[in-house]
Amino acid sequence: MRKHGEDISKRIRAVDLFCGVGGLTRGLLNSGIQVIAGFDIDTACRYAYEHNNKPAVFKEESVSDIKGSDLAGLYPDDSIRVLAGCAPCQPFSRYTQGSDHSQDEKWGLLYQFGRLIQEMKPEIVSMENVPELRRHDVYHDFVTLLEKNGYNVSASDVYCPDYGIPQSRTRLVLFGSLLGPIAIIPKSHSEKNYRTVRDAIGSLPAIESGQTDRKDKLHRSVGLSDTNMKRIMTSIPGGTWRDWPEDLVAACHKEKSGSHYASVYGRMKWDEPSPTITTQFYGFGNGRFGHPEQDRAISLREGAILQSFPRSYRFVEPRAQISFKEVGKLIGNAVPVRLGKIVGMTIIKHLGEYA
């Protein structure tokens, strides 16, 4: 029970499983929840996670190798324990549907998450993933396990612009609580005041294709071939390759099998949220990732900002070489920071009512 006058948020401690570069952790910290540690097997995430989220520490360990007692030992006595995470979503994503992922070891990671919950019984659980996860037995098994262990469970498909994220991404957000019913906090935005591409990246310095801003080495764009430069110069915000002259249309799009992929080689619109930021957002041909008016794909920094990372967030060490593929993966796989904050705000509100 809460002591008279106690600020409940000071007792909350969280551990972030599958933490990546710390999108969820940064969001929880921004909400006022202290994060002890993040677990991930990708060593490339260590610098970004620890540099931006002190004093949280990065633990390069697989959840399959961790015991519930190991996690329980990280929390201070008398803390309210939160266990949160986003198991890798590639096997469940609509971008990979149709591919055979039955042997993908990532399928089992949500079961490992459930095992750890059962072993340590944290007061609060939060899980974020793609909505397509609901189609699979692993999701229903996860919910059943929570309910059998006494958790009140709620799950919502969250349209990110409804919560102030400038990206038309939809995510499944699940909460479990041993204390009472829990549900995500009400929406903060509507179509009338969604944050837009202009709101997010409109103030960044202009750069050209293949150029890097001299003050921010992450504000860099991939160079375009002569053909792709002609294509983007012909493209209009929100348009498609169907707007181009016939000689610029790729051969694959002229075939029936490729005629449905209209969203590739497109420009974003200034006054709408961006499309979903994938791990390949830096490539003009990989989606609607063309800058609204500059003749280039969006930069790595712009992709990070559309994922609601602070403009100052560092993803690589100061003298490290920047790989578009590697940094793009780190950014695209992250939980949007603002969504992490919404998770934290939900937990704090809930504990204010029940703890």
Q: What pLDDT is recorded for position 240? A: 75
Which amino acid would we find at residue 147?
A: E
Q: What are phi and psi of 173, to 5 degrees?
A: -120, 120
Fold classification of 197-332 (topology level) = DNA Methylase; Chain A, domain 2 (3.90.120)
Beta strands at 80-85 and 57-59: parallel, antiparallel or unpaired: unpaired
Q: How far is CA 45 from CA 39, 127, 316, in A?
A: 10, 20, 9
Domain ranges of the chain: 8-190+335-354, 197-332
Q: Could you name the CATH architecture of 8-190+335-354?
A: 3-Layer(aba) Sandwich (3.40)
Q: How far apart are CA 340 and CA 314, in angstroms?
A: 18
Q: Who contacts 251 (Cβ-Cβ below 8 Å, separation ≥6)?
A: none
SS3 of the chain: helix, strand, coil, percent, to 5: 35, 15, 45
For residue 139, give both structure tokens.
Answer: 């999701």
Q: Do the domains spanning 8-190+335-354 and 197-332 agree at the CATH topology level?
A: no
CB-CB contact of 139 with 157 (8 Å): no
Per DSSP, helices labelled H in 149-279 are: 197-201, 226-234, 251-254
- Secondary structure string (H, E, C) spanning 119-169: HHCCCEEEEEECHHHHHCHHHHHHHHHHHHCCCEEEEEEEEHHHHCCCECC
* Run means of pLDDT, 10 residues per run, the chain, 355 residues: 64 97 98 98 97 98 95 96 85 44 62 97 97 94 98 98 97 98 98 97 98 97 94 86 73 54 80 97 92 97 98 96 97 97 98 92
Q: What are phi and psi of 329, to 5 degrees?
A: -65, -45
Nearest Cα neighbor of 114 from 251, 235, 23, 17 is: 17
Q: What pLDDT is recorded for position 2? A: 56
Is 160 an active-site residue?
no
Count Cβ neighbours within 10 Å for each residue of 3-29 and write b for 16 or more, e otherwise: eeeeebbebbbbbbbbbbbbbbbbbbb
Q: Calculate the CA dihedral of residues 337, 342, 347, 350 and round it to 10 degrees.
A: 170
CB-CB contact of 192 with 294 (8 Å): no
Q: Who contacts 171 (Cβ-Cβ below 8 Å, separation ≥6)?
A: 128, 129, 130, 131, 157, 158, 160, 335, 339
Beta-ladder partners of 17: 39, 85
Q: How far is CA 252 from CA 99, 121, 260, in A?
A: 20, 52, 11
Please calculate the CA angle 293-295-297 and round it to the nearest 5 degrees.
Answer: 95
Identify the active-site residue in 19, 89, 160, 252.
Answer: 89
